[in-house]
Amino acid sequence: MSNREMVILSVGGVRFVTRASTLQQFPESRLARMLNDDDQEFKLVNGEFFVDRDGTLFSYIMDFLRTLQVSLPTDFSDYQRLQREAEFYGLYPLADLLSQEHLLKPRLEILEVRFSLQEMQAFFRIFGSCSTTVETLAEQITVFTGQQSGQSWNSPFSSQKPLVPLPLERPSHHDMVFQCGTDYSAGDQFVARYVSIKPDNRKLINGTNVLGLLLDTLLKDGFRLISTRTVSSAEKVECYSLERMRRPAGLTVTVSQTPGSSGAAQAKRSQVQKGK
């Protein structure tokens, strides 16, 4: 039976088809022993192994055996029940990972955009509870500067005059500062600052347009706008608060086997899913 390529299981009435090698990832588990008829809990009926357990939770067991990673939906809540199922099947590395429930649960992430409009200049400051998200966003935003003639707020970008990219100000790992618009220099010369936000390739100088593109980018990235307020009416500072549920980094198991051993497993953190 252990040499059989395909195995069919009926768990609580839910049918699963998998490879024998998948069930043998952990040789000392009950699923591995099942293939050798070493466990009477699993009944072979018409070529299928019948198991009187929860079929829905077993789908997460199978996903773990196939990927060696715990990946659960954001609304998942049955951590203790799934841990009991893992213990029943003798998958103790999985049970150990599930005991670290605080590492598996999605976390609420907050982002705050402060926007100030002063004459022909707009100032932005972005605060985030997750430094990884702020860092990723900073990599998407580029500010370009150049000396322009007769430039006004709504003037289009002049491709004949090359612009110089500027680094964003990063007061801390959790925030960034940048500005756009024009500032009077001398004569009819203006210092112009344009903002580009990937994947959009446009270079925008109008602060309202930049704000709209920024918010649209964040909404497409899974954030939702929860509030807007005026921080300072005198300085015309507006604040936009956004939030999203951020999936945690994946928890994986590394399996190492040596000749003559039944295999060992070690849990570790893995940055399989990046801060979204």
Q: Which residue has the higher pLDDT, 168 or 43?
A: 168
Above 90 in pLDDT, residue 248? no
- The number of beta carbons lying within 10 Å of the beta carbon of residue 81 is 13
CA distance 176 to 162: 25
Look at residue 146 and tell me whether its pLDDT is greater than 90.
no
* DSSP category for residue 258: -
Q: Is the pLDDT of residue 211 over 90?
A: yes
Using the predicted structure, report yes or no on whether residue 226 has a pLDDT greater than 80: yes
Residue 52 DSSP class: -
Residue 130 DSSP SS3: coil
CA distance 143 to 205: 10
Cα 73 to chain centroid distance, Å, stands at 12
DSSP single-letter state for residue 53? S
Cα–Cα distance for residue pair 157/151, rounded to 1 Å: 9
Q: Compute the Cα dihedral for 36, 38, 42, 44 and give only its sign.
A: positive
Q: What is the Cα–Cα distance from 29 to 92, expressed in whole angstroms?
A: 8
CA nearest to 79, candidates 89, 62, 94, 69: 94
Q: Where are the alpha helices (DSSP H) in the chain?
A: 20-23, 30-34, 55-67, 79-88, 92-99, 101-104, 131-140, 207-220
For residue 82, give every residue at least 6 positions away whose Cβ sits within 8 Å of its Cβ, in sequence order, or none: 57, 60, 61, 98
Task: Give mean pLDDT, residues 69-95.
Answer: 89
What is the β-pairing status of strands 175-186 and 121-128?
A: antiparallel
Rounded mean pLDDT of 183-205? 83
Tell me whether strands 250-256 and 264-270 are parallel, antiparallel or unpaired.
antiparallel
Residue 164 β-bridge partners: 145
Residue type at 200 in one-letter notation: D
Min mean pLDDT across 119-123, 193-197, 247-251 is at: 247-251
- With 60 as the cut, is the pLDDT of residue 94 above it? yes
Could you tell me where the DSSP H helices lie in 11-54?
A: 20-23, 30-34
Residue 112: both structure tokens together? 């705050």
In the chain, the domains with their CATH numbers are 6-103 (3.30.710.10), 108-151+159-246 (3.30.1410.10)
Residues 112/126, Cβ–Cβ less than 8 Å: yes
Query: Residue 78 pLDDT > 80, yes or no?
Result: yes
